[in-house]
Amino acid sequence: MPELPEIETTRAGLAPHLTGRRVVSATLRRDSLRWPIAGEISTVLPGQRIDAVRRRAKYLLLDTAAGSALLHLGMSGSLRVLPADSPVRPHDHVDIAIDDGRVLRMHDPRRFGCLLWQPPGTVHPLLASLGPEPLSDDFDGDYLFALSRGRRAPVKNFLMDQSVVVGVGNIYVAEALFAAGISPLRAAGNIGRERYRRLATQIRQVLAAAILQGGTTLRDFISPDGNAGYFVQELSVYGRGGEPCPRCGRPLKQASIGQRTSVWCPGCQR
């Protein structure tokens, strides 16, 4: 699933092409993805000017005076800005036409994405209980330390709880925990304040580096310009179970934690 750096790369790629443009029409080639597509996409969005393209967690929002289109790319979705006459491929489910003769095209082979609507002045229920953004001033080691007290769950599960912090998915949790020297198995409540400060710093650094390199391409993700993300070349542990640790040379351990594949060094991470 595309994670925060991939979604931020998508947002940054789309924003210059969409911001300030007026929506002409919306073509829906199916009426539902993961959930039914909001009726406002066809009835309210056309005629509106896109004032901003924002990201919240792994969701994108196209803001207009009448409300916001809320998009999620699911497991394998992508968004591209294309000439309106570009051939339609299988799984090209939605075209949002803009006033310069192009369309924002949503491609979603597995149909796990969504296209919903957020009225002005409201917060969609999918966004209402989300934690802070990891690159915002609201997120730091002191915040993690305070919230983790009494938590017995593994720190990896704690960090992937979207009510704790948003967008730090499986790949980047593994990389940040390795950089901070913390085992993903350690109980969240058994980690001290200074280690959480180091971990929060590493989360920020790993995500920032991934955004600069366009995200991580593992299966389906490509950015809006069609290019792959290159952070996969920088991964220290994720996807490298059984290989030598880049620090100590000990074989990296791989196991399932919280039903997600996890890789860590039993020597460097404790």
Active-site residue, 87 included:
no
As a whole number of angstroms, the distance between CA 185 and CA 158 comes to: 11
Active-site residue, 243 included:
no
DSSP reduced 3-state for 86: coil
- Number of Cβ atoms within 10 Å of the Cβ of 157: 20
Question: What are the structure tokens assigned to 158, written together?
Answer: 């704690």
Which of 49, 111, 197, 260 does the annotation list as catalytic? Answer: 260
Which of 3, 6, 8, 175 does the annotation list as catalytic? Answer: 3
List helix spans (H) across the chain: 4-18, 40-43, 125-128, 141-148, 155-160, 170-180, 193-212
Which of 11, 55, 58, 80 does the annotation list as catalytic? Answer: 58
Active-site residue, 260 included:
yes
Q: Assess contact for 169 and 3: CB atoms under 8 A.
A: yes
Active-site residue, 3 included:
yes
As a whole number of angstroms, the distance between CA 230 and CA 211 comes to: 10
Of 188, 186, 156, 187, nearest to 170 by C-alpha is 156
Kindly give, in sequence order, each residue whose CB lies less than 8 Å from that of residue 257, ignoring residues fewer than 6 positions away.
154, 156, 157, 184, 185
Q: Is 110 assigned a ligand-binding role in the annotation?
A: yes
Q: Which residues are annotated as a binding site?
A: 91, 110, 151
Catalytic (active-site) positions? 2-3, 58, 260
Q: Which residues are annotated as a binding site for DNA?
A: 91, 110, 151
